[in-house]
Amino acid sequence: MADVATENMIFCLCNPLLDISATVPETLLAKYDLKANDAILADASKHMPLYDEVAAMEGAEFIAGGATQNSARVAQWFFDQPRVCTYVGCVGTDDNGRRLRSIAEADRVRIEYLEDSTTPTGTCACLITNAGKARSLVANLAAANHYKADHLHRPEIWSLVEGAQLYYSSGFPLTVCPDAMLDIARHAAAQNKVYCFNLSAPFLVQFFKDPMMALMPFVDVLFGNETEAGEFAKVHGFANPDDLGAVALALAAQEKTNKSRERIVVITHGAEETVVAHKGVVTKYPVTRVDPALIVDTNGAGDAFVGGFISAYVMGQDMTACVARAHAAAAMIIQRSGTSLPARV
């Protein structure tokens, strides 16, 4: 793709959330009827007290979050050029919204939030258990739930869409603004640019099947982990839902609009091999394991993986190099709290 990194090469849209991250006892999960290694939307009838409870815990951290914003911050970390990554989503006009902007801009991401003065900025409780090896995410979208496609089509924002070369959204905006995602994806296909998408969570595969499948024909690079890919396979009746290689091939073979780009499917599996399907071939890439003693928490590992991958892919690097950088990004993040980034040297 590109030879030299320039501003606004990567355009991202998602749900910006302020992550409230803490190591918690298993009893807290039971108290709020939560599962380890899961991601859900908050139930207003039972989860609202969780956020203050976690925020008050010793060692709780506040981190700029939302899956795609995490990926954008990690991708940007690999570039000397500032603002290679542009990010849009909706926040409130409150302290948390200002905090989110400040953190993301300090990481040199170009932020173009829609601001909603009537709704607070969204938050995500990131509950770390099992000595950092498991995380349960509970998202209260709040203002993030109010993103509108008309913001995307403002001339100053759409010009950024037109200027970008690669686009990425997690699956989470399917619950908020699938029309905006489709507008970006259609533009990418029409201009032979690269649209990347992430399955993101089993509940999206289960309950947002229609908007996901409306978007799928435009997806050039599809990400997911073994649980999400397996759930997709079951929901869609794939023959071998437990065979990640077969699932990756079946995902790659789904209907596609831009025939000039064959879909790449990338399935992660924690410390196990990463499975990539492209042009009818499955390749498995071993993961260099991190010493368990160095793992702080695994929250954000998948987001970091994507950030590393797209930062290499947009620069035209081959698949081996893209996966290697993705693995390096994930390894870096799991040795830190949440998706905090080390200083660049």
b vs e for 304-327, b when ≥16 Cβ sit within 10 Å of the residue's Cβ? bbbbbbbbbbbbebebeebbbbbb
In the annotation, is 150 catalytic? no
Q: Tell me the C-alpha distance between 338 and 23, whole Å.
A: 10
Residue 238 corresponds to which tokens in the numbers above?
């794939």
Q: Tell me the C-alpha distance between 265 and 248, whole Å.
A: 6
CB-hemisphere CA count at 13 Å for 252? 21
User: Across the chain, how many H-helices and E-strands are there?
Assistant: 13, 16
- The catalytic position among 94, 116, 297, 303 is 303
Do the beta carbons of residue 9 and residue 84 sit within 8 Å?
yes
Q: Rounded to an integer, what is the distance from CA 69 to the centroid of its chain?
A: 7
Distances from the Cα of 269 to the Cαs of 188, 273, 312, in angstroms?
29, 6, 20
Say which amino acid occupies 228.
E
Q: Tell me the C-alpha distance between 257 and 193, whole Å.
A: 12
The residues annotated with a catalytic role in the active site are 303
